[in-house]
Amino acid sequence: MTDISLQAAPHAEASDVKVWDPFVRFFHWALVALFVVAFATAEDYETAHLAAGYAILALVLARIVWGFVGPAHARFRGFVFAPRETLRFMADTARLKARRYLGHNPAGGLMVVALMAMMLAITATGIMQTLDVFADAEWVEEIHEGAVFATLGLIGLHLLGVLVASIEHRENLVRSMITGRKRPLDQA
């Protein structure tokens, strides 16, 4: 009888490569947690809501800086692709024939930029609502709420993209955002 526990896994961690640095992983999960807190406290807990919003703003600004000075997979030039390439990638994904990327794929890169832009829009309009000059400006609140609900839509698309890419490439992308590691490109 063979002891299954002693058999090597097909993609053992020893062969994995480091992709996501600690700050990128911290940014990702902290942003998730802070967005949940901000959303959950929007109506009844103003202090917590504001604190979460300011923390999101600080986090996104730090991530923007990191996008220029961080390691290769954290840099914008490593995951912001031309529109044509992004559209081609999404068409290939729809056919489950998309190329695998070690870092963010073109759709994932677009989602990173879109989500950060939405976080900036949400925090900017949130801050505006705290200023006397915009105290009675209903349009600011409407833009703020609209941006929040648009972000929820983007989050849904992001989760769908992670699921599809994980299935298509037989790779647990959630785990890689926790561990920071993925299998090398030369491993199918």
> Could you report the per-residue pLDDT of 41-79, keeping only the tens digit for each?
998 999 999 999 999 999 999 999 999 999 999 999 999
The residue-averaged pLDDT of 182-186 equals 86
Question: Is the backbone of residue 180 left (phi > 0), alpha (psi -120 to 50) or beta?
Answer: left
The closest alpha carbon to 63, from 127, 109, 121, 116, belongs to: 116
pLDDT in tens, 76-111: 999 999 999 999 999 999 999 999 999 999 999 999
H-state helical runs in the chain: 22-40, 46-69, 83-94, 106-129, 138-168, 173-179
In this prediction, residue 8 carries a pLDDT of 36
Residue 66's identity, in one-letter code, is W
Is 4's pLDDT higher than 80?
Answer: no
This prediction's pTM: 0.86
Mind giving me the DSSP string for 10-58? Answer: TT-GGG-EE-S-HHHHHHHHHHHHHHHHHHHTTTT-HHHHHHHHHHHHH
How many other C-beta atoms lie within 10 A of the C-beta of residue 175?
12
Tokens of 91: 């068409």
3-state secondary structure of 182: strand
Residue 84's identity, in one-letter code, is R
pLDDT band at 187 (very low <50, low <70, confident <90, very high): low
pLDDT in tens, 155-177: 999 999 999 999 999 999 999 99
